[in-house]
Amino acid sequence: MSDSSDLVRVRMDLAYDGTGFSGWATPPGRRTVQQTVEQAWGLILRTPPPVLTVGGRTDAGVHARGSVAHLDVPADGWVALPGLSSRQPHEAALRRLAGILPDDIVVRSVRVAPGGFDARFSALRRRYSYRLANHPERADPIRRHDTVTLKQPVDVARMNQAAGTLLGLHDFAAFCRRRQGASTTRTLLRFDFSQAPGGVVVGAIEADAFCHSMVRSLIGAVVPVGQGRRDLDWPQEILRAGTRDSGVTVMPARGLCLEEILYPPDAGVAARAEQTRARRD
């Protein structure tokens, strides 16, 4: 009776303020989002903390508004979640997690995942935002935890021109922290900047997947172009050179936010997961 058919796979959508966390997951002993949420699940299930698999691991200080994770819950623990109330298990879990979690994590939804769903391998693409304040004296101190203030303003049109040259399927080794045996080939689907109120410039960046430090390096390659300190084709030259360039600043974590992880319709999540796993092997 205790085979995998006794497990319910659960999808949870969540948001967090990364300021107080050493990232999604780090070596033990630090406060991480993963460990904090796993412990909350253990408390409401009265089990050891279950293991979470996430669709987008974030570094220390990076925020998320649209993170997605999955976990496998014993079926008997799942149906017991509402206790004597008439709620569904997913509603009970949402309420009870909200009562336990600290106020820098908000669980947006909990639901039984469609068959074959994997938060990491079923994902089609990830979208991040990056917030830049263009003028130190116009910066909003209330937003200093999620906005990076530039000493020299950027021209949004110039940034968009440079960012556009990086779109498509490329080896992004020049913008990735190298990891033994890992591919750095990715498809950059969107990379543009727009003006927001209060002298803020917001970057939007989307790819099938990102390697480590890739978003912050890509932003760091385009900012000097926007400031007029580098030519329009400089980011593309770095991409082609294929090696990390000391002229590219890895931008600070606090400006970055994981906005959305996109999945296929329910019927397609199993096939997508198999496809991704096959490509990684």
Give the residue numbers annotated as catalytic, written as ranges.
59
Q: Binder to a second copy among 47, 109, 194, 275 (CB under 8 A)?
A: 109
Contact 185, 174 (CB under 8 A): no
CB of 196 to a second copy, least distance (A): 11
Q: Does 144 bind a second copy (CB under 8 A)?
A: yes
Interacting span for a second copy (CB under 8 A) from 2-10, 45-53, 100-108, 268-276: 100-108
Distance CA 54, CA 65 (A): 14
Interaction between residue 260 and a second copy (CB under 8 A): no
Select from 220, 202, 210, 219 the least CA-distant residue to 261.
210
**Phi-psi region at 145: left, alpha or beta (left = phi > 0; alpha = psi -120 to 50):** alpha
- The CA-CA-CA angle for residues 111, 114, 120, to 5°, reads 90
**Nearer of residues 97 and 238 to a second copy, judged by Cβ:** 97
Which letter does DSSP use for residue 154 in this model?
Answer: -
Number of chain positions touching a second copy (CB under 8 A): 25
Cβ atoms < 10 Å from Cβ of 46: 8
Q: Rounded to an integer, what distance in angstroms lies between the CA atom of residue 131 and that of residue 219? A: 10
Could you count the other beta carbons within 10 Å of the beta carbon of residue 203? 26
- Contact status: 15 vs a second copy (CB under 8 A): yes
136, amino acid identity: P
Instruction: Determine if 94 is a binding residue for a second copy (CB under 8 A).
Output: yes
Residue 12 binding a second copy, by CB under 8 A: no
108 binds a second copy (CB under 8 A): yes
In the complex with a second copy, the residue whose CB is nearer, 99 or 242, is 99
Is 98 a binding residue for a second copy by CB under 8 A? The answer is yes
- Alpha-helical runs (H) found in 126-231: 156-164, 214-226
Task: Specify burial of residue 116 (Cβ count, 10 A radius: 0-12, 13-18, 19+).
Answer: middle
Shortest reach from residue 108's CB to a second copy, in Å: 5
Q: Which tokens in the block code for residue 20?
A: 């107080």
- Is residue 256 near a second copy by the rule CB under 8 A? no
- Contact mark string toward a second copy, 177..216, x via CB under 8 A: ----------------------------------------
Residue from 103, 180, 246, 265 in contact with a second copy (CB under 8 A): 103
- Taking CB under 8 A as the rule, does residue 85 contact a second copy? no
Q: Is the dihedral of CA 60, 63, 69, 74 positive or negative?
A: positive
Selected binder of a second copy within 42, 80, 115, 140 (CB under 8 A): 140
Q: Site residues (CB under 8 A) for a second copy? A: 15-17, 63, 65, 94, 98, 103-109, 136-142, 144-146, 257
